[in-house]
C-alpha cells in the first residue's frame, strides 16, 4: 500500500539504536512531536499529519522496537524518555508540542514531567497514568508472542482479521492502512514490524504523582468507546493536572487517530490555537 504523500523519511543512530521518523511541514513552523502506541508506528498519524503540517513542523517517530526503528534491549518508560531527549537534540528543538497515543501518551507524560522546559503543550490520548500490564486480558498471548515471535500472514487480508479483532471500531480503510504499513515481507508472506518482545517487556512507570507537578497546558483525549481509559479516571486526571482539558471523541475506541482522525484533528488544532501554541 502506498503511504499518504508529503512526509520526508529520516534516520539517526542514537543510544545504540537506529531510529526512523517522518517529518511533515516546513521548518519555520513551530514543532510538534508525535508518539504512536504500543505495536504501532509513525504512519499511525498519516490521516492527521497533512492538516497538522499546515500549522506545525511534524516529527512522527517510530519508537524503539517499532516500525522502521531498531529494537531495544529493554522497554521501560525511562528508555523511551531518554530516546526522545536524545532525538530532540538531533532535531535541534528547543520547545515543542508533544502528542502521544496510548503507550506514546504515557511516554509523553513522563517526558513532559522530566523535561517541562521543553514541552509547550501536552496532548495525551487515551491512557491512564498507571498501568498494571499483568492484568491485561490477553497477557498469556502477549507473553507467548515474546517467546515464539510473530506468525507469518499469507496476505494483508489475513493480517486484517487479527487487526479487526483488536480494533472493532476503526473504519475498514483506516485499519487496513495502519495494518498494511505495519507489515514487512518475509519468506512465505508478511510479518508485523514491531519487536515481538516489546508488548511483554514494556514496563510503564506509575506516573500518578507526576501529574500535579506539570504546569504546561494539557489536553486529555478519550475515545467514547474505549476499554482502556475509564471515564472516572479521565476526569480525575483532568482535575489533577493544574491546567488540563478533556475531549471525548464520539464513536471512537482506544486508537483515536485511526478510528476518528477527521474528528480528532480539528479538536487538537482548535485547542492549541486557544491555548497559545504558535
Domain locations in the chain as residue ranges: 8-135+197-274
The answer to whether domain 8-135+197-274 has CATH 3.40.50.1820 is yes
Q: Are 207 and 106 in contact (CB under 8 A)?
A: yes
CA angle 106, 107, 111 (to 5 degrees): 120
State the CB neighbour count (10 A cutoff) for residue 163.
19
Rounded to two decimals, the pTM is: 0.97
- Cα–Cα distances (Å) from 91 to 47, 59, 110, 144, 251, in that order, read 23, 9, 20, 37, 36
For residue 278, name the pLDDT band (cuts at 50, 70, 90). Answer: low
The whole-number pLDDT of residue 256 equals: 98
CA distance 219 to 246: 6
Residue 268 parent element (H or E) = helix 261-274
**Percent of the chain residues topping a pLDDT of 70:** 100
What is the 3-state secondary structure of 44-72? HHCCCHHHHCCCCEEEEEECCCCCCCCCC
Q: pLDDT tens across 195-206, in order?
A: 999 999 999 999
For residue 165, name the pLDDT band (cuts at 50, 70, 90). Answer: very high
Residue 76 parent element (H or E) = strand 75-76
Amino acid at each position: 500500500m502506498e503511504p499518504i504523500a508529503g512526509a520526508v523519511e529520516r534516520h539517526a543512530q542514537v543510544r545504540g539504536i537506529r531510529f526512523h521518523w517522518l517529518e511533515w511541514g516546513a521548518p519555520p513552523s513551530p514543532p510538534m512531536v508525535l508518539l504512536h502506541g504500543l505495536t504501532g508506528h509513525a504512519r499511525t498519524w498519516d490521516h492527521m499529519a497533512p492538516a497538522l503540517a499546515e500549522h506545525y513542523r511534524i516529527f512522527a517517530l517510530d519508537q524503539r522496537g517499532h516500525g522502521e526503528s531498531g529494537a531495544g534491549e529493554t522497554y521501560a518508560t525511562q528508555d523511551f524518555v531518554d530516546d526522545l531527549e536524545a532525538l530532540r537534540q538531533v532535531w535541534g528543538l528547543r520547545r515543542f508540542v508533544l502528542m502521544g497515543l496510548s503507550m506514546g501518551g504515557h511516554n509523553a507524560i513522563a517526558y513532559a514531567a522530566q523535561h517541562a522546559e521543553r514541552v509547550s503543550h501536552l496532548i495525551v490520548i487515551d491512557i491512564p497514568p498507571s498501568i498494571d500490564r499483568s492484568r491485561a486480558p490477553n497477557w498469556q498471548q502477549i507473553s507467548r508472542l515474546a517467546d515464539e515471535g510473530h506468525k507469518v500472514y499469507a496476505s494483508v487480508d489475513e493480517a486484517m482479521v487479527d487487526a479487526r479483532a483488536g480494533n472493532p471500531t476503526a473504519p475498514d480503510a483506516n485499519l487496513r492502512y495502519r495494518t498494511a504499513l505495519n507489515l514487512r515481507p518475509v519468506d512465505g508472506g508478511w510479518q508485523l514490524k514491531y519487536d515481538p518482545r516489546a508488548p511483554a517487556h514494556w514496563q510503564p512507570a506509575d506516573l500518578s504523582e507526576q501529574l500535579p507537578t506539570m504546569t504546561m497546558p494539557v489536553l486529555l483525549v478519550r475515545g467514547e468507546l474505549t476499554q482502556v481509559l475509564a471515564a472516572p479516571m479521565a476526569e480525575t486526571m483532568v482535575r489533577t493536572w493544574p491546567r488540563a482539558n478533556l475531549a471525548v471523541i464520539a464513536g471512537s475506541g482506544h486508537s483515536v487517530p485511526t478510528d476518528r482522525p477527521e474528528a480528532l484533528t480539528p479538536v487538537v488544532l482548535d485547542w492549541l490555537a486557544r491555548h497559545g501554541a504558535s
